[in-house]
Amino acid sequence: MALIEEFGQYLRHERGQSEHTQKAYSTILNRFAYWTAEQQLTHWDDINLSHLLSYLSYRRASVEHFSDNPAKKRGRPRNESTRLSSESLYLEIAALRSFFRFCVQEQFLPSNPAENLTLPRRWKRLPKTMTDAEIQCLLRPIEPITPSTLCDHAILELCYASGLRLSELRNLRLEQLRLEAGFIQVIGKGNKERIVPVGRTAIEAIERYEQFGRKKLAKAGKSPSNLFLTSRGTAFAAGTLWGRIKKRCTLAGIDRKITPHMLRHSFATHLLEHGADLRVIQELLGHSSITTTETYTHVAGKRLKAVHQQYHPRG
């Protein structure tokens, strides 16, 4: 397990990977370590490509989930019979490849057994977005006005105005705001910094929250410098922040399932539909590859086709 911990430190300090990625890779590798122990493979350099393929075949048949329970503490994860999705399989292989590449790079292992382990082709999923009407309902201020509702409103306005990820919203700090200049500094995946402009409506919501909400939520000398604070004056946990957004969706009368990325997807799609350049959207979203951003052209294309069919005389 020591090598897995070393790898975690590498992801954190040298690769700048998100906490979510670190936890996901750690879970996968610990699960793999338990499997190797069951196969009487006592050393990492005993593992070869055939072992990796056998493990992945085993994973396709059943999925093991770690949880904080006595079974885990005794050294065996709890089993639940369910199929491994193609997306999960992709992540399993990516974690193994990255781990063994690190081990060879740092000379912990003489060779890389995962070198010829190929990643499966990923099916592109079209991002789901919210309609203009849903956005308008969601961004409508609600009564009564309290520090918490001001916080919620500022979160929603900023999320839709800037396309921030949930983790970027949670970690946004006061010193990253440049509201007088109309932008914020965002620390995204891999600790990459980008500049994101913010519209007047979102700026007004943030300033109103800072003046009448955050000052009351913050505990003197105890609260972090995060912009958004809970009613206890602490930074939001991921689940807590998403729970607040889901509650606002319910209050807005939106009765379909909303996912954490839908506001971000809506931001990008609505920009594209109104004529924004794809490269600009890539920069705003913090995508390292234009290929990721190009997904939104399919969504916008469907919208254009629907408008054409509805309004063209021969549509």
Catalytic site residues? 165, 189, 261, 264, 287, 296
Instruction: Bin 168: left if φ > 0, else alpha if -120 < ψ < 50, else beta.
Output: alpha
> What is the C-alpha radius of gyration for the chain, rounded to an integer number of angstroms?
23
CA gap 159, 138 in Å, rounded: 12
Helix-then-strand count for the chain, H and E: 15, 5
Helices 295-311 and 262-273 cross at an angle (nearest 10°) of: 60
Q: What angle do CA 43, 46, 51 make, to 5 degrees?
A: 115
Bin 76: left if φ > 0, else alpha if -120 < ψ < 50, else beta.
beta
Report DSSP state, residue 16. Answer: -
Bridge partners, residue 196, by sequence: 184
